[in-house]
Chains A and B, each alone.
Chain A
Amino acid sequence: MRPRATHDIVLASAVLVAITGLALGVIAIGGHPVLPALAALLRGSFGSPFAFFSATLVRATPLILLGLAVGLAFRAGVLNIGGEGQFHAGACAAVTVGLALGGSLPRPLSILVTVAAGTAGGALWAGIAAILKRSFGVLEVISTLMLNFVAALAVSFLVRGPLQEPTHVYPYPPALNPSLQLPTLAADTRLHIGFLAALGLAFGLWWVLRTTARGFRLRVVGAGAAAARSAGRVDVTGVVTAAFLASGAIAGFAGAVEVTGVTHRLFEGISPGYGYSAIAVALLARLHPLAIIGTGIFFGALEAGGAAMQRDAGVPAQFALIVEALVVLCVLAIDRLGPRTSEGTQ
């Protein structure tokens, strides 16, 4: 395990250095002054306690959760790239239930019910693709991707239709009742307990994959379905379906956490592509749940810093997207060069 871990860390560092270099090149080519842009990027992500806790970590929360969702599915060999859609489905379900609840229940209970609704919504959305795969052999890459667009359009419909605020002027529903809003971790920060939930879930998944029979079955199916079936007599279809649903549930949970913890309402574009960034988050972490915490924070910092760069140095925020794309390409390229790995047990 030791040499492996060292190898992975060296590899990840090399990727980061390469990406930073490429990123600076992109800024320079775009005709922007490199140093002020870089300063703005750092200021907006790590420059102050406020930047770190209220911008970087707040953005890292959905990225970590969605990264875990993607990572879990990929470990089982399910290429669920529908985190974005499942996130939207979770947000819609949470807001729908939350608006119906209003302030009728005590705070912890109403939060629990709302978040549970979002989790179920995400699982249900993934379930559509899971059924298509199971019954008709539809590739999940295609079905989950298509369902992302359906989900985004469903949000558009909801915020202009059934859930629209009473005056029918603005394309969003009323804000959630304060009793449904997640508590923040400190008085003067936007960081909410959803971040702790993300950390807890990462450690939980890591433990499950590493030590339990269920986790082992999932890894075995992902690494060699034929051997799992023949040598292990594992119910491969069952494991694949379960992983698919669990992945969707986590993504739905992420959507529910976002509306109850940050935005407090539903609107179009509630996710600036978190579901897609999460694929990069998971791949850069080589699908390891604990590493996803690190890569999630890194991407959160990029998004926060990218926003600051646009504000302070005039570099378009799309710059952050370019960097994310570069990360995916670098990881995929380097993955072919390095030895094949799977996170071991010991």
Chain B
Amino acid sequence: MTVPAPALHLRGISKRFGSTLALDDVSFTVASGTLHALLGENGAGKTTLMRIAFGLARCDHGSIEVDGTEHHFHSSADAIAAGLGMVHQHFMLVPALTVTENIVLGDCGFFGGFHPSRAAERVRQLCEETGLGVDPLARVSELAVGAQQRVEILKAVSRNARLLIFDEPTAVLTPRETDELYSWLRVFVRGGGTVVLITHKLREALTLADDVTVLRRGRSVLQSTVHAVDEAQVVSALLGEGPALRTPSPVRVNRTTGDTVLSATSVTVADTQGSERLHGVNALVRAGEIVGIAGVEGAGQWELLRVLAGRVTPQSGSVRLPAHIGFVPEDRLRDAIIPEMTLAENVVLPRAGGLHGRIAWSTYAEKARALALDHGVRPPDARAVGTLSGGNQQKFVLARELEGSPEALVVENPTRGLDIRASDDVLERLRAARDTGCAVVMYSSDLEEIVSLADRMLVCFNGTVIETPVDTACVGRAMIGLS
């Protein structure tokens, strides 16, 4: 009996971005007619590996075999020709075009003909054959996210893809859409297709997949059939043995009696496309504690932070917020400061909405200078905030938001892009704010950082929020849906 060649076989793939080794000699085999889950934390290299397999990135070393033949992909067109298809996390559709137009786009050459009715008929047939229901004549911009994803799948299938790669396909889907996608994947695999599923969601992956591969920090640390491993083994592969913590928080405050400063009760938030990002979430932050928030991308933390900062009004549920909340958003150049304006003008910015009459500029110039000196923003007499370095901009924003002792402070990835000294400085300021009674909420995509700082942890998963012990392993498990 001959064993069929694997549908996809990546051998010894390495990829370097600048000084970081994103993939280190990774081999990855997907048997034909199986559903293969590719697991890993943020930045483990899952997406990079699949982009290489799909011809969107070139590897430094290694080879790619599809159905037993070696290929050198120069672009995704080569990969498509070899029978691969990829459904990206952020869809690659033209919103103003119809479903049919999106699907045939790229099929007809520059001078090729396009027969709208014939193409629509073809798409309708394709929908029937595949069991993916979409109206061929609907405009993509009018479709729900789940339907847009079906268009992406149809696009790949219409080009005869036999191996489909899904990058976090359920991050944007509602639970119902997720179920529909999963049952379709089973049908597709039963019909002889092959699927690679990149995901954070461990439990779903384990119930759905035939095989599983785990990447950690650019290395393949586990490759097995699902039956041969249990959840605990996969988790330890994902998170690594014995979490090596940075220095733990010197003082962890354990407050259960402080005054509640921020509270959200059964809060539901939908994004602009109408899909729910938070479902009936409760959260509570007391004076004098740092509550850490964690979650994989798109799990709802972005919305939760903005609800707690009073920047987003929930569709339902109630929030109780104090009058003065400091907010340090992640994208400071866009959301926190106006780079070409002076320090004084940026100090006034948070008050801009409520000021009346004349602005006492000389007072604010004094205040800006004092804040800059006090928080070590260099140079304190910079004219425009945009001329400061990233670290100094962040110090300036934090100084401004802490000014006037706000009752609460919400910060999002406050150390992103900062060097160690600047990071430590920022974290020290947050501890100092807590010690003076401020209710601090902090999100960081760096798990160790947040765990080392937080007094309590809230973890977002799939639009819900649960409280976990302050411990990287517990938080890491909760982030992928395990309690």
Contact = CB atoms under 8 A, between A and B. Distances in A.
25 contacts: A212-B358, A216-B355, A220-B345, A223-B341, A224-B337, A226-B334, A226-B335, A227-B336, A227-B349, A228-B349, A228-B352, A230-B311, A230-B327, A230-B329, A231-B336, A231-B337, A232-B350, A232-B352, A233-B354, A234-B352, A234-B353, A342-B384, A344-B341, A346-B361, A346-B362
Q: Which of B336, B339, B352, B357 has the most CB of A within 10 A?
A: B352
Interface string B332-370: 001111111110110011111111111101100100000
Interface in A175-231: 211-213, 216-217, 219-220, 223-224, 226-228, 230-231
B183 to A, nearest CB: 38
A212 B384 CA distance: 20
A273 B356 CA distance: 38
A336 to B, nearest CB: 15
Contacts of B365: 345-346
A341 interface: yes
Q: Which of A220, A231, A232, A346 has the most CB of B within 10 A?
A: A231
B353 A230 contact: no
A213 B345 CA distance: 11
9 A-B pairs closest in CB distance: A213-B355, A232-B352, A233-B353, A224-B338, A230-B335, A234-B353, A345-B361, A342-B340, A223-B338
A156 B359 CA distance: 47
Interface residues of A, number: 25
Contact of A235 (B353, B356, B383): B353
Q: Which of A212, A230, A234 has the most CB of B within 10 A?
A: A230
A213 B342 contact: no
A232 B353 contact: yes
A227 to B, nearest CB: 5
B361 A211 contact: yes
Q: Which of B344, B353, B359 has the most CB of A within 10 A?
A: B353
Contacts of B352: 213, 216-217, 220, 228, 232-234
Contacts of A233: 350, 352-354
Contact of B335 (A223, A227, A340, A341): A227
A341 to B, nearest CB: 7
B359 A231 contact: no
Contacts of B351: 232
A333 B361 CA distance: 33
A344 B345 contact: yes
A231 B335 contact: yes
Contacts of B386: 340
Interface in B307-344: 311, 327, 329, 334-342, 344
Nearest to A228: B352
Contacts of A216: 345, 348, 352, 355, 359
A233 to B, nearest CB: 4
B357 A212 contact: yes
Nearest to B397: A231
Contact of B340 (A213, A340, A346): A340
A212 B350 contact: no
Nearest to B335: A230
Contact of B342 (A226, A231, A344): A344
B335 A345 contact: no
Contacts of B344: 345-346
B312 to A, nearest CB: 10
Interface in A223-272: 223-224, 226-228, 230-235
Nearest to A217: B352
A342 B383 CA distance: 11
Contacts of B361: 211, 345-346
Contacts of A340: 340, 386
A41 B354 CA distance: 51
A21 B335 CA distance: 44
Contact of A220 (B327, B338, B357, B383): B338
Contact of A345 (B327, B342, B357): B342
Contact of A213 (B311, B357, B383): B357
Nearest to B358: A211
Nearest to B354: A233
B349 A232 contact: yes
Nearest to A212: B358
A172 B342 CA distance: 52
A345 B341 CA distance: 9
Given A228-B352, A340-B386, 20 more contacts: A4-B383, A213-B355, A217-B353, A220-B341, A226-B334, A227-B335, A227-B349, A230-B311, A230-B336, A231-B336, A231-B337, A234-B353, A235-B353, A341-B340, A344-B341, A344-B342, A345-B342, A345-B365, A346-B342, A346-B365
